[in-house]
Amino acid sequence: MSRPIGIGPAGPAVSKSAFSRIWTTNEILLVGFGDSVTAGFGARKGFSYFDRLVANPADEFADMRDISLKIVFPNLRYTNLSQSGSTSLEHVEKQIPKLSMASSNVMGIVVITTGGNDLIHNYGRTPPREGAMYGATFDEAKPWIANFSGRLDAIVTQIESNFPGGCDIFIADIYDPTDDYGDIQRTGLPAWPDAPKILAAYNDVIHGMGEKDRHVHVVNMRDGFLGHGIHCTQFWSKHYDSNDPHYWYYSNLEDPNERGYDALRRLFLIEMQKTFSLEK
């Protein structure tokens, strides 16, 4: 896709006052799980959302200087176990088992992006199946949606059991590069009539985890990116953003570009700020 990407900061403002003091001196372990969004595919080193959660790059935007987890958690350690191209099946089977048991004096902060590759792979080139369901009807997808719910339960349960000192899990829902129109065929991919319904069902599963587990906090990436997909330049479209009518996705359509990663780290930080009750 070729769309104007703009320059400068992207996404919502983050409160500087909340990051002007130490949140805790306890030992914190930040862990990244999931797919290429958490792996930072398409971004330079230091400019993915995970990297920018940890620390500000040298040329940080003025409004985000000294706004990072290293500022508020002086005893922060971090590891990113995510892998580009991975699906939720691989997250539960391969990534989560890599998480070692933490000491009881360590608090975990876990960030996750999962499920997006389940939907978009294999771009309609192969018949739809679980983990690569592009082109599926909603009826075909129903058992795969149910299985995704079970996998997410298993992921959360395992993470919580590996942090006896407690943890908070921040999971992003899945964005829609068609800006809520469902016209994926405009990108050159095959039309997929049931995609909006299946995407909504996956996001319902993710939001449901946030409702039933107090340690799980959903980062609303879908709504945060609306207006910055393939319809970003169309002033008549329903989510047009006149303040930033630019494309936040990478050239492969399924990952953010660097401005998108900037916006995403802001969405994560705002949810973290609310979770730790530092500012109402």
Q: Is residue 280 part of a domain?
A: no
What's residue 1's pLDDT?
A: 54
**CA–CA dist 50, 272 (Å, integer):** 13
Q: Is residue 251 part of a domain?
A: yes
Average pLDDT over residues 88-97: 97
pLDDT in tens, 201-258: 999 999 999 999 999 999 999 999 999 999 999 999 999 999 999 999 999 999 999 9
Measuring CA to CA, which residue among 275, 250, 265 is closest to residue 64?
A: 265
What's residue 87's pLDDT?
A: 98
Q: Is residue 2 part of a domain?
A: no
Given a cut of 50, whether residue 279 has pLDDT beyond it is no
What's residue 17's pLDDT?
A: 92
pLDDT in tens, 122-142: 999 999 999 999 999 999 999
Q: Based on the structure, what is the number of domains in the chain?
A: 1
Per DSSP, the three-state class of 112 is strand
Q: Is residue 74 part of a domain?
A: yes
What's residue 205's pLDDT?
A: 98
What's residue 195's pLDDT?
A: 98
Confidence of residue 81 (pLDDT cuts 50, 70, 90): very high
- The model carries a pTM of 0.96
Output the domain CATH number for residue 65.
Answer: 3.40.50.1110
Q: For 229, left (φ over 0), alpha (ψ -120 to 50), or beta?
A: beta
* Average confidence score pLDDT of the chain: 96
Residue 77 bridge partners (DSSP): 29
Q: Is residue 149 part of a domain?
A: yes
Single-letter amino acid code for the residue at 254: E
What's residue 189's pLDDT?
A: 96
Average pLDDT over residues 5-27: 95
Q: Is residue 5 part of a domain?
A: no
**CA–CA dist 55, 250 (Å, integer):** 22
Given a cut of 50, whether residue 184 has pLDDT beyond it is yes
Q: Please, which contacts does 229-233 make with residues 24 or more away whose CB atoms are closer than 8 Å? A: 229/175, 229/176, 229/177, 229/178, 229/179, 230/1, 230/3, 230/177, 230/178, 230/179, 230/183, 230/186, 230/187, 231/178, 231/179, 231/181, 232/3, 232/4, 232/179, 233/3, 233/4
Whether 225 contacts 267, CB under 8 Å: no
Q: Is residue 128 part of a domain?
A: yes
Q: Is residue 154 part of a domain?
A: yes
Domain enclosing residue 21, as ranges = 17-275
Average pLDDT over residues 187-204: 97
What's residue 280's pLDDT?
A: 35
